[in-house]
Amino acid sequence: MAQKAPHTSRHGISIAIAAMMLFSMFFGAGNLIIPPITGVESGENFWPAILGFISTGVLLPVLAVIAVAVTGNDVQDLARRGGRIFGLVFPILAYLSIGAFYALPRTATVSFSSAATPLLGWHSTWAAAAFSAGFFIVAFLMSLNPNGLADKLGKYLTPVLLVLLVLLILLGIFTIDHRPGQAVDDYAGHPASTGFVNGYLTMDSIAALAFGILVVSALKYKGLPAGPKLVRGVGLSAVVAGICLAVIYLGLGYVGNIIPKGSEYSDGAALLAAAAQQTMGIPGGIVFGLIVVLACLSTAVGLLGATSEFFNKLVPRVSYRAWLVIFCLISFAVSTTGLETVLAIAAPIVGFLYPPAITLILLTLLEPLVRRRLQWTFVCALIVASIWAALMTLESLNVATGVISPLIGWSPGHAQDLGWFLPTLVAAVVGLVIDLAGGARKGVPLGGESVADAENRTGAIPNG
């Protein structure tokens, strides 16, 4: 037993570092600016709203990382369960949305508008372009060695980021004396579901499907053996990162909830900058600027590493470093269009991707529990979720609403953008019945592979 103690200790340290790495990759621009606005707009309905936000901003990403660990597969392998077309289209859209076409440019634009402009007085397009260029050069250099991400993010950036966030939150809670205002818009009537849907904007559940394999790789690199021990290590890392996220979200949301005249701020970044100045004066602005830059830079590094590894696997002829250069250049170009343009891209993409993403995560976790290969359950549910999400997206863009609205408007939760859930659930149940019937007739799970065979093949599905 004494001989195993050093290994156990090293594994524990590796898990802790992986948890901090995961937190830092999750906690970026959207994670910083969305909770305070949720706090402002939810008013007296703060608790159901923030808990709804945490369910999609924390719980789902944690489950997504665990799903990746249980299967031992990356997002592309998971998505193939929905068929060849879904298996190709969904991962590409997911990686582009969390990468060069949305989330990556947002890290640079939020850093500039929230840190460089208030602290340095930079406003011009040329200044924004110069800042973005420097930002992506640093992110590129940090992303060159993907196996070193855990050390770079977990050991150095994340502890500093956490200390600064906790300092801002505690000072805000204990020095700002104000009562919450009234809930506005959808938060007045449906605070929990509105918070749930707004949690989509963090993009963390999508990103978790990409980040999960990075955590698996990082812990393997640190010496954790494949199998149940690795699954438990990844799961523990995800839970620790999720707890940190939840605490920070609660704190940031509460600061937004109690700050005077919160509705007058244009966005969460301006609100937090004001909170920092109110609680700490000029040093507060510097602290807030550091928080924004560290949060956005750490997320950019994680996104660059994940997207470059994915496209290198998809197109091996283009090297990992070449993809890094490509995505840095595209992200830089998109970021120069400004924050409003970048954010305008988000709503349709996020609205389309989240229903199939949530479905994929939950079904992946369901499969080990039923201990059989589920084929039609995945296919039926993911097809319905994708079609329903596409129709919802077209309706939100005012495309053929006269035809689309009667088709999907009857579903419960449609007004809260949750109408996809019931049809997808019905499709999943139909597929499950087919899978169970097929397995009973053949004597093995549908798909020709028993759970025991799957365990031996992946070395990742835990016993029980």
- The position carrying tokens 């696997």 is 313
* pLDDT of 464 higher than 70: no
Closest C-alpha to 377, from 391, 360, 389: 360
Calculated CA dihedral for residues 14, 19, 25, 28, nearest 10 degrees: -140
Handedness of CA 65, 67, 73, 77 (dihedral sign): negative
Is residue 247 within a helix (H) or strand (E), and if so which, with residue range? helix 228-258
Residue 293 lies in a domain: yes
The DSSP code sequence of 415-445 is GGT-TTHHHHHHHHHHHHHHHHHHHHHHSS-
Q: Is 248 domain-assigned?
A: yes
In this prediction, residue 427 carries a pLDDT of 96
| Choice among 57-66, 141-150, 253-262, 455-464 with the minimum mean pLDDT | 455-464
Give the integer Cα–Cα distance in Å for 7 and 239.
22
CATH code at 278?
1.10.4160.10
**Greatest CA separation for the chain:** 72
CB 181 within 8 A of CB 199: no
**Is 142 among the domain residues?**
yes
Residue-level pLDDT at 368:
84
Q: What domain range is 119 assigned to?
A: 7-340
pLDDT digits (tens, 9 = 90+) for 255-289: 999 888 888 876 777 788 788 878 888 777 787 78
User: In the structure encoding, which two tokens stand for residue 169, read together?
Assistant: 């939150």
CB count within 10 Å of CB 215 equals 28
Domain membership of residue 436 (yes or no) is: no
pTM flag (> 0.75): yes
Determine the pLDDT at residue 425.
Answer: 96
Angstrom distances, CA of residue 448 to CA of 237, 243, 399, 436: 33, 39, 43, 13
Query: How many of the other CB atoms lie within 10 Å of CB of 125?
Result: 10
Asked if residue 32 is part of any domain, the answer here is yes
**Whole-angstrom Cα distance, residue 450 to residue 256?**
51
Residue 56 vs residues 39, 41, 252: alpha-carbon distances, Å: 16, 18, 16
Rounded CA separation 252/7 (Å): 38
Banded pLDDT at 147 (limits 50, 70, 90): low
Q: What's the CA gap between 79 and 91, in Å, rounded?
A: 7
Confidence band, pLDDT 50/70/90 cuts, at residue 155: low
Q: How far apart are CA 285 and CA 138, in angstroms?
A: 23
Q: Output helix, strand, coil percentages for the chain, rounded to the nearest 5.
A: 80, 0, 20
Sign of the C-alpha dihedral, residues 91, 348, 34, 61?
negative
Tell me what the mean pLDDT of segment 115-133 comes to: 83
Do residues 247 and 27 make contact, with C-beta atoms less than 8 angstroms apart? no
The residue whose two tokens read 């068929």 is: 83
Q: What average pLDDT score do residues 340-346 get?
A: 68
- Do 56 and 190 meet the contact criterion of CB atoms below 8 Å apart? no
Give dist(CA 8, CA 198) in Å, integer: 40
Q: Is residue 423 part of a domain?
A: no
What's the CA gap between 209 and 200, in Å, rounded? Answer: 14
Q: Is the pLDDT of residue 228 over 60?
A: yes
Percent of the chain predicted with pLDDT > 70: 86
**Within a 10 A sphere around the Cβ of 8, how many other Cβ atoms?**
10
* Integer Cα distance of 410 and 406 in angstroms: 7
Residue 316 domain flag: yes
Q: Give per-residue pLDDT as tens, 186-218.
A: 899 899 999 998 888 888 888 888 778 778 877
Q: How many domains does the chain have?
A: 1
Highest average pLDDT, of 41-45, 119-123, 174-178, 371-375, comes from 41-45
Domain-embedded: residue 145:
yes
**Residue 343: how many CA atoms within 13 Å on its side-chain side?**
12
Give the whole-angstrom CA distance, residue 450 versus residue 267: 51
For 405-429, write each residue's pLDDT tens digit. 999 999 998 988 899 999 999 999 9
- The answer to whether residue 463 scores a pLDDT higher than 50 is no
Is the pLDDT reported for residue 452 higher than 50?
Answer: no
pLDDT of residue 247: 92
List, in order, residues 6 or more apart from 163 with CB less than 8 Å away: none
Helix (H) or strand (E) holding 369: helix 339-370
Q: What is the DSSP secondary structure assignment for residue 73, as one 8-state letter?
A: -
Residue 297: the pLDDT is 83
